[in-house]
């Protein structure tokens, strides 16, 4: 068996040792595949209205039942995962990239730039996240683009703090001093020494950013300020279901459970990755 000491191989080994990690990884991949290939998984057109089959309970023909316009809820939940996942992945990636840049500039740019940039971030910590998202959404305009921009910026604030802390810590390390003493430029210092050390914490952040972004998008859509028709995400489906909840509980339970199950899978995956990258985990 390969016992090399490359940190990534070691992390992989720690990760693969626990069946829970593998199961959650498999489940996340399955969800992504469902979103990507939803066209082949659905049983009928998610927008097709059938006036003879409104608000049916789950049955063999319509696994999750039908909604108040006679649309197949199973197909709508599967299609809803596309928007939920798309928003979560794009915002997480954008937040990660913007936040890393912001945090690195703050940490390496000198005291004044650091103070100014960090004060600007304090804004995000003076308001509850959902309210901040709504305000940002007003700035960027409603619709898919506005929501993506708002959630990305919110994620940026979290990532920037983390990356700044990491870079400040790394800056104190001997190998950075040695590299500076050997005359390396700021950019090569960043690319060759800082970035490789930042990647593990960033991967861990990514696995926590994706589920929290799924949740924020769902919350925004649930209160009616998120995704608007013709698109629908799990949050919009839950909002539609909420209206007729007492008479037709399946309308809110299925989209809600879809979010819950996805959150669980990402939670365990994130936990596994965090442990795997922890240098003390193997012992």
Residues near another protein (CB under 8 A): 119, 122-123, 125-131, 134-136, 138-139, 141, 211, 215, 218-219, 222-225, 238, 242, 245-246, 249, 252-253, 256-257, 259-260, 263-264, 267
Of 65 and 194, nearer to another protein (C-beta) is 65
Q: How far apart are CB 280 and another protein at their closest, in Å?
A: 13
CA distances from 109 to 112, 115, 168, 173, 186 (A): 8, 10, 11, 18, 10
Q: How far apart are CB 172 and another protein at their closest, in Å?
A: 18
Of 49 and 257, nearer to another protein (C-beta) is 257
Cα–Cα distance measured from residue 155 to residue 221, given in angstroms and rounded to the nearest whole number:
18
- For residue 68, the tally of other CB atoms under 10 A from its CB is 15
Of 47 and 271, nearer to another protein (C-beta) is 271
DSSP 156: H
Q: How far apart are CB 51 and another protein at their closest, in Å?
A: 26
Cα–Cα distance measured from residue 103 to residue 162, given in angstroms and rounded to the nearest whole number:
7
Q: How far apart are CB 137 and another protein at their closest, in Å?
A: 8
Q: How far apart are CB 115 and another protein at their closest, in Å?
A: 12
Largest separation between any pair of C-alpha atoms in the chain:
78
Cβ pair 272, 20 in contact under 8 A: yes
Nearest one of 54, 95, 92, 61 to 75, comparing CA atoms = 61
Of 163 and 251, nearer to another protein (C-beta) is 251
Of 196 and 224, nearer to another protein (C-beta) is 224
């Amino acid at each position: 068996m390969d016992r090399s000491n490359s940190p990534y191989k070691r992390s992989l080994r720690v990760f693969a040792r626990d069946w829970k990690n593998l199961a959650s990884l498999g489940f996340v991949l399955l969800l992504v595949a469902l979103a990507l290939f939803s066209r082949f998984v659905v049983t009928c057109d998610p927008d097709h209205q059938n006036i003879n089959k409104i608000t049916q309970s789950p049955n063999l023909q319509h696994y999750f039942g039908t909604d108040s316009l006679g649309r197949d809820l199973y197909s709508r939940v599967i299609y809803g995962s596309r928007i939920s996942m798309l928003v979560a992945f794009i915002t997480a990636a954008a937040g990660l990239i913007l936040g890393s840049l912001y945090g690195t500039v703050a940490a390496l740019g000198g005291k004044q730039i650091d103070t100014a940039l960090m004060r600007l971030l304090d804004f995000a910590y003076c308001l509850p996240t959902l309210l901040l998202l709504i305000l940002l959404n007003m700035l960027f305009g409603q619709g898919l683009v506005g929501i993506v921009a708002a959630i990305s910026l919110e994620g940026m604030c979290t990532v920037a703090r983390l990356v700044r802390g990491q870079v400040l810590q790394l800056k104190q390390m001997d190998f950075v001093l040695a590299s500076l003493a050997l005359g390396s430029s700021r950019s090569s210092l960043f690319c060759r020494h800082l970035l490789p050390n930042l990647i593990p914490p960033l991967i861990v952040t990514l696995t926590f950013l994706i589920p929290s972004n799924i949740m924020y998008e769902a919350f925004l859509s649930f209160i009616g300020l998120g995704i608007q028709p013709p698109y629908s995400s799990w949050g919009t489906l839950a909002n539609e279901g909420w209206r007729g909840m007492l008479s037709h509980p399946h309308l809110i339970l299925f989209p809600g459970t879809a979010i819950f199950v996805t959150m669980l899978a990402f939670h365990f995956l994130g936990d596994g990755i965090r442990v795997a990258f922890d240098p003390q985990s193997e012992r």
